[in-house]
C-alpha cells in the first residue's frame, strides 16, 4: 500500500499515533499548547476535541476545511468529528489528495474522563486505520497537587496512569518537595513500569515529548527492568484505587499457540480488571524471546526480539489489575498456561 503521509524509509511505514491523556485539570491542555507550538511538531497532526479547549486559535494560519487548521509551527490541528475513525480516515485522505501537507505523526488528545484503551482497540481492529496507523505509546499527564487523592477516588485517573508508557507530572512548582515525592510514589504504585518525567512550565520540554520515535516503553526489549525485575508474585500495593501488580513467572515451556489460547481465556474471564499486560516470553522451539503488550481483552501480536534484554532471561508476565483478586488472576494465568504454582 502506498502511504502518502509516511516517508519511504523504515520497516514500518505506518503513521505513528501517540495518545495524550490525563484527568480533568491535570495540565494536559497546557502541555498540549506547548507541544503544538514546538517546531518538532511541524510534521505532526494533532487531533483534539475542539479548538476552543486547546486555545490555539491565535496561532491559526488558515483552514484546510471546516475543522482542520494549520498552525504557526507547521503542525496540523484537527477536531474530532463523527468519531476518531472518521477523523483519522479523513486526515489520511486529505494528505493523499494533497489538500493538506503530508504528516508523519499523530497526537490524539482524549477528554479528561476517557481512558486510552478504546483508542488502542480502534487502531488495531479498524481495518483502514490498522493498515495506515500504529500506536507509538500513551502519555498520561498527572497533577502533582491532586494525583494522590485522585487515584483512589477516580477510576478513570487510575486507568490513565496504568495504561501509560510515559507519565508527565505537571504543576510540580505548586507543591513542596515532600508532596512531589508522594505524587511520584502514588504513580509508581499504580504503574511501576512507566517512565516518569517532571515537567515544569518554566523549563524546556522534556525530549521524550517530542515523539520523533516510538516512546521507549513501546520499543521491544527497552526499559523492561522496572517491569520485570521483581520476583514472581503479588505486589504489596493496592492503596491507590485498589490497583495492584501481579507478576507471574513462566518456568515451564509453552508453545506460541498454547500461550495465545490460554491468554485469551484469562482475558475473557477478567478483561475489565486487566488494566495493563506486559511481558517477555520465550516460546517452545524458538531461540529468542518475544515482547508482549495488552490492555483488557486485547493482546497485541508478540514482537520478536533479537535476544534477551540485559539482566533478563526468565519468561514472565506482569499484570496491572483493578477489581479481581490478584491471587485469583495469578492462579488463572498459571492454570491457563500450564505453569507450576
What is the tens place of the pLDDT at every residue in 104-130? 999 998 888 888 888 888 998 999 999
Coil, strand, or helix at residue 194? coil
- Average model confidence (pLDDT) across the chain: 82
Phi, psi of 41 (to 5 degrees): -95, 15
* Position 193 in a domain: yes
Output the domain CATH number for residue 287: 3.30.1220.10
* Position 227 in a domain: no
Last residue in a domain, options 149, 180, 215: 215
The pLDDT assigned to 4 comes to 43
Residues 296 and 157 in one domain: no
* Position 75 in a domain: yes
Using the predicted structure, report yes or no on whether residue 5 has a pLDDT greater than 50: no
* Position 1 in a domain: no
* Position 2 in a domain: no
Domain with 141 in it:
15-215
| CA angle, 90 then 96 then 102, to 5° | 95
Residue 207 or residue 146, greater confidence? 146
Model confidence band, residue 59 (pLDDT cutoffs 50, 70, 90) = very low
How much of the chain, in percent, has pLDDT values that exceed 70? 79
Output the domain CATH number for residue 113: 3.40.50.300
* Position 5 in a domain: no
Number of domains, the chain: 2
- The string of pLDDT tens digits covering residues 219-255 is 544 555 555 554 445 554 445 557 888 999 999 999 9
Report the 10 Å Cβ neighbour count for 249: 16
Phi, psi of 43 (to 5 degrees): -105, 20
Model confidence band, residue 168 (pLDDT cutoffs 50, 70, 90) = very high
* Position 226 in a domain: no
Global model pTM greater than 0.95? no
Which residues lie below 8 Å from residue 280, measured CB to CB, with a gap of 6+?
A: 221, 224, 228, 289, 290, 291, 292, 305, 308, 309, 312, 315, 316
Amino acid at each position: 500500500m502506498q502511504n502518502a503521509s509516511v516517508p519511504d524509509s523504515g520497516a514500518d511505514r505506518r503513521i505513528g499515533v501517540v495518545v495524550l491523556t490525563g484527568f480533568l485539570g491535570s495540565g494536559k491542555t497546557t502541555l498540549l499548547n506547548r507541544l503544538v507550538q514546538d517546531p518538532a511538531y511541524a510534521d505532526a497532526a494533532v487531533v483534539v476535541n475542539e479548538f476552543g479547549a486547546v486555545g490555539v486559535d491565535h496561532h491559526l494560519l488558515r483552514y484546510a476545511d471546516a475543522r482542520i487548521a494549520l498552525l504557526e509551527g507547521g503542525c496540523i490541528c484537527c477536531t474530532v468529528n463523527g468519531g476518531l475513525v472518521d477523523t483519522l480516515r479523513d486526515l489520511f485522505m486529505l494528505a493523499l489528495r494533497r489538500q493538506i501537507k503530508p504528516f508523519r505523526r499523530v497526537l490524539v488528545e482524549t477528554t479528561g474522563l476517557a481512558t486510552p484503551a478504546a483508542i488502542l482497540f480502534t487502531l488495531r481492529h479498524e481495518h483502514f486505520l490498522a493498515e495506515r496507523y500504529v500506536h507509538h505509546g500513551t502519555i498520561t499527564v498527572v497533577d502533582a497537587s491532586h494525583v494522590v487523592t485522585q487515584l483512589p477516588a477516580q477510576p478513570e485517573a487510575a486507568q490513565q496512569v496504568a495504561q501509560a508508557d510515559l507519565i508527565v507530572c505537571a504543576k510540580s512548582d505548586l507543591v513542596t518537595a515532600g508532596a512531589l515525592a508522594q505524587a511520584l510514589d502514588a504513580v509508581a504504585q499504580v504503574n511501576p513500569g512507566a517512565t516518569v518525567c517532571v515537567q515544569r512550565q518554566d523549563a524546556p520540554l522534556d525530549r521524550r515529548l517530542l515523539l520523533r520515535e516510538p516512546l521507549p516503553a513501546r520499543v521491544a526489549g527497552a526499559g523492561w527492568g522496572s517491569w520485570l525485575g521483581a520476583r514472581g508474585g503479588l505486589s504489596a500495593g493496592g492503596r491507590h484505587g485498589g490497583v495492584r501488580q501481579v507478576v507471574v513467572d513462566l518456568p515451564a515451556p509453552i508453545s506460541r499457540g498454547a500461550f495465545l489460547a490460554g491468554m485469551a481465556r484469562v482475558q475473557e474471564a477478567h478483561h475489565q480488571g486487566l488494566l495493563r499486560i506486559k511481558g517477555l516470553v520465550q516460546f517452545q522451539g524458538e531461540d529468542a524471546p518475544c515482547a508482549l503488550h495488552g490492555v483488557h481483552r486485547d493482546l497485541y501480536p508478540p514482537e520478536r526480539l533479537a535476544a534477551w534484554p540485559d539482566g533478563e532471561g526468565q519468561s514472565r508476565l506482569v499484570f496491572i489489575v483493578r477489581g479481581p483478586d490478584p491471587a485469583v488472576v495469578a492462579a488463572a494465568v498459571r492454570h491457563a498456561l500450564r505453569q507450576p504454582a
